[in-house]
């Protein structure tokens, strides 16, 4: 083949591929086009309206729901705790679950590049060297067989080859669409991991502060028990109290001392959990000493509208992306029912000797087009399409369930915040009443007007009121954080 002929051949290949590219890009993609599900047609989160202002009274902070206001991405800063901000930054930088989610997202993004590569011709270069032999032949001449000796020769070849499958029915486009949707799913999974990490970090910090407050209250109660025991012992030595009074006071002290180890264990576990979230071994990192007084209860709580929630919660967006991927899978399965066209061409050099390999006479070329159309596959292709449709239906149900659960979570936390405000007010009044009752009971017991059992009962009521008030305060902080997380954390 002359140089002009080879040039003409290469131009023919390019022209054929150009036509195929245009044909593939201008064709329609079979299967459904994905449409995002509409937000729920509701205007609120609960059946009965939530009070806009949650005011516990008793000097505690009132909270106002800012309906329609978006949650900030760094929502934890609403608590105005520099120590908390520092721990969250540490967790975001070193948490291994978050690192794994980032790497998984990068992997999914490479799949997009891989799927996009099917739009282009595949060009390869090959070079071979073969040693072949032709066996001996025998022919008859005048009744006698005359043999020809076998021959052995070398065959050298090299050159590029091109193949391309035009996307006539959109199967490649649907695969790319699916890859993008799956990458979007991983992006949402990363956002969900981010939100879970920050939410758990704040929760553990508040838990540490709550347990420290409960320990402080328990130690104060124990100090009161010790005071009661000394008072009873003095009266016993003075002959004004029975031995049973001393035993009762000692028993109360022992019971309250038994409260310390479980609280200490819970505090240690919370600190260890926080160190794991921060990507540190418990032996090498100690959490800050959090106190509830270090946190500021946000007076204004952003409350996204229901139509905004489905566009902000990572778990809902991840379910939507998976739904999109399964929609594209229907198109992929549908494209398998249509013919597949493949164009290929090659141009190379082939010779029996390396010395003549690059001469014009050694040029070889080929140009081919192939069409494969499914005729009978035993129902496999139709089953695959129906399976893709069924998978989409299942994913759609999962998406709807995810939305329902998200709205239920927000509704639960909103109601909890309302009850938290009531509980804080009730516990505050109970503590105030129990404290006054205890002081009066001590004066009465010292004056001989009441027995030790009445004093111990007042002491127990005061203990329960102090711990109850501490837990109520902490729960209000916890539910505030839970609401911000349930609304999507500003992502």
> What is the model's pLDDT at position 131?
82
- Containing 295, the helix (H) or strand (E) segment is none
> What is the model's pLDDT at position 232?
87
**Residue 356, Cα to own-chain centre: how many angstroms?**
63
Return d(Cα 372, Cα 338) in angstroms, integer. Answer: 9
Task: Encode pLDDT of 251-271 as tens digits.
Answer: 989 999 999 999 999 999 999
| CA neighbours closer than 13 Å in the CB half-sphere of residue 211 | 20
Return d(Cα 418, Cα 183) in angstroms, integer. Answer: 39
> What is the model's pLDDT at position 33?
95
Burial 304-334 (b: 16+ CB within 10 A, else e): bbbebbbebbbbbbbbbbbbbbbbbbbbbbb
Burial 426-443 (b: 16+ CB within 10 A, else e): bbbebbeebeebbeebbe
Return d(Cα 287, Cα 247) in angstroms, integer. Answer: 41
Report domain extents, the chain: 39-118+172-339+381-486
Query: In sequence order, what are the residues at sequence separation of 6 or more whose Cβ sits closer than 8 angstroms to the Cβ of residue 258?
Result: none
Could you tell me which of 377, 385, 379, 372 has the C-alpha nearest to residue 333?
385
Query: Can you name the residues that pair with 365 across neighbouring β-strands?
Result: 347
Query: Strands 144-148, 363-372: parallel, antiparallel or unpaired by DSSP?
Result: unpaired
Q: Hey, how many other C-beta atoms are within 10 angstroms of the C-beta on 116?
A: 14
> What is the model's pLDDT at position 292?
92
Query: Strands 340-351, 151-164: parallel, antiparallel or unpaired by DSSP?
Result: antiparallel
Return d(Cα 389, Cα 396) in angstroms, integer. Answer: 11
Return d(Cα 90, Cα 244) in angstroms, integer. Answer: 56
CATH 1.20.1600.10 fits 39-118+172-339+381-486, yes or no: yes
Return d(Cα 459, Cα 228) in angstroms, integer. Answer: 9
pTM: 0.85
| Per-position pLDDT tens, the chain of length 491 | 455 545 544 555 555 555 555 555 555 789 999 999 999 999 899 988 888 888 886 678 889 999 999 999 999 999 999 999 999 999 999 999 999 999 999 999 999 999 999 999 999 998 888 887 766 555 555 555 555 556 787 888 888 889 999 999 999 999 999 999 999 999 999 999 999 999 999 999 999 999 999 999 899 889 888 988 988 898 899 888 889 989 988 998 999 999 999 999 999 999 999 999 999 999 999 999 999 999 999 999 999 999 999 999 999 999 999 999 999 999 999 999 999 999 888 888 888 787 777 888 788 888 898 999 999 999 999 999 999 999 999 999 999 999 999 999 999 999 999 999 999 999 999 999 999 999 999 899 888 888 777 888 888 888 889 899 999 999 999 999 999 999 999 87
Query: In sequence order, what are the residues at sequence separation of 6 or more whose Cβ sits closer than 8 angstroms to the Cβ of residue 268?
Result: none
Return d(Cα 191, Cα 185) in angstroms, integer. Answer: 10
- Residue 434 backbone zone (phi > 0: left; psi -120 to 50: alpha; other: beta): alpha
* DSSP for 83-114, written as a single string: HHHHHHHHHHHH-HHHHHHHHHHHHHHHHHHH
């Amino acid at each position: 083949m002359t140089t002009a002929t080879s040039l003409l051949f290469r131009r023919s290949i390019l022209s054929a591929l150009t036509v195929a590219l245009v044909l593939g890009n201008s064709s329609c993609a079979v299967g459904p086009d994905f449409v995002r599900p509409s937000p729920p047609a509701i205007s609120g989160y609960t059946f009965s309206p939530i009070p806009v202002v949650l005011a516990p009274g008793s000097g505690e902070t009132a909270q106002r729901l800012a309906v329609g206001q978006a949650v900030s991405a760094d929502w934890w800063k609403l608590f105005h705790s520099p120590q908390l901000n520092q721990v969250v930054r540490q967790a975001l930088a070193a948490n291994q679950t978050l690192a794994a989610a980032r790497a998984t997202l990068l992997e999914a993004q490479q799949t997009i590049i891989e799927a996009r590569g099917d739009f282009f011709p595949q060009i390869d270069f090959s070079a071979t060297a073969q040693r072949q032999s032709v066996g001996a032949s025998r022919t008859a001449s005048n009744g006698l067989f005359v043999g020809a000796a076998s021959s052995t020769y070398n065959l050298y070849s090299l050159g590029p080859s091109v193949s391309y499958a035009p996307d006539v029915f959109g199967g490649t486009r649907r695969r790319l669409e699916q890859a993008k949707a799956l990458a979007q799913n991983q992006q949402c999974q990363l956002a969900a991991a981010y939100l879970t990490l920050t939410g758990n970090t704040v929760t553990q910090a508040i838990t540490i502060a709550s347990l420290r407050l409960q320990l402080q209250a328990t130690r104060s109660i124990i100090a009161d028990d010790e005071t009661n025991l000394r008072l009873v012992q003095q009266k016993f030595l003075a002959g004004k109290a029975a031995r049973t009074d001393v035993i009762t006071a000692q028993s109360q002290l022992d019971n309250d001392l038994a409260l310390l180890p479980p609280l200490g264990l819970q505090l240690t576990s919370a600190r260890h959990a926080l160190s794991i979230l921060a990507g540190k071994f418990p032996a090498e990192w100690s959490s800050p000493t959090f106190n509830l007084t270090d946190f500021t209860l946000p007076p204004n709580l952003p409350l996204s509208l229901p139509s905004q929630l489905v566009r902000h919660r990572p778990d809902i967006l991840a379910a939507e992306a998976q739904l999109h991927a399964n929609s594209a899978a229907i198109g992929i399965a549908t494209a398998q029912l249509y013919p597949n066209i493949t164009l290929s061409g090659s141009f190379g050099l082939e010779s029996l000797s390396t010395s003549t390999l690059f001469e014009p006479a050694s040029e070889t070329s080929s140009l081919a087009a192939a069409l494969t159309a499914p005729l009978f596959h035993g129902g496999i292709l139709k089953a695959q399409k129906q399976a893709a449709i069924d998978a989409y239906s299942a994913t759609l149900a999962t998406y709807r369930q995810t939305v329902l659960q998200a709205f239920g979570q927000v509704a639960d936390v909103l109601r909890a915040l309302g009850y938290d405000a009531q509980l804080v007010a009730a516990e505050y009044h109970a503590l105030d009443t129990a404290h006054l009752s205890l002081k009066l009971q001590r004066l009465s017991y010292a004056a001989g007007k009441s027995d030790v059992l009445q004093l111990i009962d007042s002491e127990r009521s005061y203990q329960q009121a102090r711990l109850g008030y501490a837990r109520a305060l902490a729960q209000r902080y916890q539910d505030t954080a839970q609401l911000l997380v349930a609304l999507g954390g500003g992502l």
